A and B are shown apart, each in its own frame.
Chain A
Amino acid sequence: MRLCKIKMREEMKMNKKRVIYLALGVMILALLLGCSKKPEQELSDSKAVLEAVAAEGGEKYAAEELNVIQSEMTAALDEMAVQDGKFFKNYDKTKEMLAQVKAKSEALQAEIPARKEKAKTDAQASLDAATMAVADAKALLGKAPKGKGSMADIAAFHADLQGLESALTETQGLMTSEDYFVAMDKANGIKDKASEISTQVTEALAKVKAAKKR
């Protein structure tokens, strides 16, 4: 009888332990599987912001930073792929990486309008300077003697200025299509050429004056 009681008590103890082990096992499994939900939403959010950066002109105004973030996105995708292949998945790191990509992309996206605006202002300033330089050269050329007795080069300068005026129109088109960097380069070229023509016209006028004095 006493032996029977001891056996029963031991069996109960064993059962208790089994329950504990089972509970522990369930807890461990829950812990291991608890973070297994794939961060689809985070991935889609990060991708959306990154695409928005590119759409806002990231490749033109923030090419380097965009390239770095794109590399980080790739690394996050790699991390996710590794977790996808595991039995006990843990996407914590993936989430962290995606959150970083999103935060950096958002910060960059916020900076782009200012950079774009600066490029626009700079290009417009160059275009204004070029327009003024062409107008100056034109005014100077207007002072050149007309008709018989004019310098041979004067007629060519008029054609030069026509070329510059047509280039100014093209540059204005570039401004409209928001190609600010190309517009700025073109405008600077026009300004230089117009100044060169002004110098040549001044020299030519000086020659004519000198000839008249003689």
Chain B
Amino acid sequence: MIHGLIKTVFLLIALSILTGCKSAPVPPEVREAEQQQHDLWKAGAEIYAPEEYKIYKRGLRDGQIHLASENNRFIWFRTYKDVKTEFTNILAQGKLLGEKVDEHKRTKSGNVANQIAFFRNRIETLRKLASLINEGSRSSRSLTKAELQLAEISLLSERGSYTEAEEKLKGISKYTEQAANAILPILNRYTDNDQITKWRKWVNETVEASKRSQSYSIVVSKVDKRLFLYKGGRSYKTYEIGVGTNGSHDKLYAGDKATPEGKYHVIKKVAGSRFHKALLINYPNEDDRRQFAIAKSKGLIPHRAGIGGLIEIHGGGKHGMTYGCVAMENQHIEELFNIVDVGTPVTIVGVIEYENRITSAMKNL
């Protein structure tokens, strides 16, 4: 009996050596699932669908444990049928997860692209507004930093790192706000209806004066950077101009580099000006003196500052940044110089229209 048992065992061993070394092949789904897991990781499943990815990985691990225990069974008893089914399910789950990750990425990509466009537009608008009032120096530092950050964000977005891009986007508004805070208080003068109404009244009075006297009047719009010459109450010529470095402000005192706003007239024609030719105006007028006194009493201007003077319309080029004068191209001042006489009214305002370049640019903010 024992002999028989020994014989049977030996026969089985011999048979297993002859035939049993070949086990059933591991289903291809196993390798595919491993690759899929790596692909999902690369696609950012851990970032874009962390919970689902955790569940998927747990499922994959269970499958791998199942596979390992099947591999450890005696060669004859190994069957990968259940393993195959399990891994087929894992692959299906992974496919759904992949689709979800893609969907998340598409949404994030859209959000990032929208925010990039938003900030690009905001930066562009702020630059334009700053340039309109000659205040680029106040905002450029912050805007440059915002542009640099935006360039980095665009790169991250191109690489598909949307979460990182979103994180960086949070920091960009700090710079755009700094820039906006530097120029918006100045810009508000140009959107204030009461202020514009006052300027318009001055312009209307100046044009009326031209009509009444059937002669010339000059209106300068600082934001439009235009000098309008009226004859007999009608628009006669328009010239491009440049204003003071701080041209967006109303002039208060000597050396503030601001171009004054008010109703003036030509008091002298300077043929031998350093800036080709010049028309000297009567700044400071009564109103300017009053404003100066108020500002000084309130301590708004340096204690030793004078009110200034020698404000001219002169040549030298429209691109010039002046200390408060109005600059024109030489051939234009030449023409104007020959047309107007001493006494010609000169009204300088911030803007003329309620809907102006600043208000329309500010709509984009």
Contacts and interface: CB of A to CB of B under 8 A. Distances in A.
Interface string B1-20: 01000000000000000000
B325 to A, nearest CB: 8
B141 A163 contact: yes
A186 to B, nearest CB: 6
A185 B140 contact: no
A163 B61 contact: no
A74 B57 CA distance: 11
A78 interface: yes
Given A67-B38, A78-B65, A186-B148, A158 B320 contact: no
Contacts of A148: 320-323
A74 B60 CA distance: 11
A129 interface: no
B65 A81 contact: yes
**Could you tell me the dominant secondary structure of chain A's interface residues?**
helix
Q: How large is the interface on A (under 10, 10 to 19, 20 to 34, 35 or more residues)?
A: 35 or more
A160 interface: yes
Interface string B54-76: 00000001001100110110000
B41 A149 contact: no
A138 to B, nearest CB: 13
Contact of B136 (A74, A152, A188): A152
Contact of B152 (A79, A154, A164, A186): A186
A67 B40 CA distance: 11
Contact of A193 (B148, B242, B321, B329): B148
Interface string A188-211: 111011000000000000011001
Contacts of A86: 72
Contacts of B148: 163-164, 167, 186, 189-190, 193
Interface in A73-108: 74-75, 78-79, 81-83, 85-86, 90, 93
Interface in B121-166: 130-131, 134, 136-145, 147-148, 151-152, 155
A210 B90 CA distance: 72
A7 interface: no
Contacts of A153: 131, 136
Contacts of B34: 71
Q: How large is the interface on B (under 10, 10 to 19, 20 to 34, 35 or more residues)?
A: 35 or more
A9 to B, nearest CB: 17
Given A67-B41, A82-B72, A192-B151, A156 B320 contact: no
Contact of B319 (A21, A160, A207): A207
B140 A157 contact: yes
B42 interface: yes
A78 B68 contact: yes
A158 B10 CA distance: 94
B317 interface: yes
A166 interface: yes
A83 to B, nearest CB: 7
Contact of B137 (A81, A155, A190): A155
Interface in B224-273: 242, 245
B331 interface: yes
B137 A156 contact: yes
B68 A211 contact: no
A3 interface: no
B274 to A, nearest CB: 9
A74 B64 contact: yes
A14 to B, nearest CB: 9
Contacts of B345: none
A79 B138 CA distance: 66
Contacts of A167: 144-145, 148
B350 interface: no
B98 interface: no
B284 interface: no
Nearest to A157: B140
Contacts of A82: 65, 68-69, 72
A151 B282 CA distance: 27
A182 B38 CA distance: 25
A189 B155 CA distance: 10
Interface of A: 17, 21, 64, 67-68, 71, 74-75, 78-79, 81-83, 85-86, 90, 93, 148-160, 162-164, 166-167, 182, 185-186, 188-190, 192-193, 207-208, 211-212, 214
30 contacts: A17-B2, A21-B2, A64-B42, A67-B42, A71-B34, A75-B68, A81-B68, A86-B72, A93-B71, A148-B321, A148-B323, A149-B322, A151-B319, A152-B134, A157-B140, A158-B140, A159-B137, A159-B138, A160-B141, A163-B141, A163-B148, A164-B144, A182-B152, A186-B152, A189-B152, A190-B148, A193-B148, A207-B319, A211-B317, A214-B330
- Identify the 4 closest CB pairs spanning chains A and B, nearest first: A156-B136, A163-B144, A159-B140, A189-B151
Given A71-B37, A86-B72, A182-B152, 12 more contacts: A74-B64, A78-B64, A81-B68, A149-B316, A152-B134, A155-B245, A159-B136, A159-B144, A162-B144, A188-B151, A189-B151, A207-B319
